[in-house]
A and B are shown apart, each in its own frame.
Chain A
């Protein structure tokens, strides 16, 4: 089955710096890669996703890149703000209805002002 590794487990940056979180997956059949942000005590919220027919996707300060050959995908946050502090999870699955998401173990991002 699919296995997703996520690094680093914790990341501390200064406000305004960039943050990068990396994930690798094992199943070459996976073609949907979402990223979720979870604030303390809250639900995971989808912040961006990418499908395997796309190499990069941007949404304001957030971008995701995918290297399908290497089975790597990364989340890039630019101009970080204190409200970006949260746990970020990457996941992988088939892009079809009814397929479980396999999550990485999460990265705790702390942005200090």
Chain B
């Protein structure tokens, strides 16, 4: 167990819908990262937050957004879902001084 908690484990929804994925980082970790893993694209960085503030953006679609709350948990919001958004979404966290990232178990999103 990495100490990073993601909920839900599985999510099945329809095209056009909106979902929220939740991540609780390891105790003491200030940075939270979101990654998308699809079969053909591997692990792609989406967005990163540090202590409540957005720090970096990767290949994140405009339909996707995220935030980090004062208790340091983070939520990834995916809206106007398309079939191609079906993927595993991982959250990772790291401590404030180094970049060693620990991954959660992921949320498997299926858009039907």
Contact = CB atoms under 8 A, between A and B. Distances in A.
B99 A44 contact: no
A103 interface: yes
B100 A100 contact: no
A34 B45 contact: no
Given A46-B100, A49-B100, A94-B99, A100 B45 contact: yes
Contacts, number: 68
A102 interface: yes
> Which of A34, A44, A89, A93 is the most central at the interface, judged by chain B CB atoms within 10 Å of its CB?
A44
7 contacts: A34-B101, A46-B101, A46-B102, A101-B45, A101-B92, A103-B42, A106-B42
Interface of A: 32, 34, 36, 42-46, 49, 89, 91, 93-106
Interface of B: 2, 30-31, 33, 42-45, 48, 50, 55-56, 58, 90, 92, 94-106
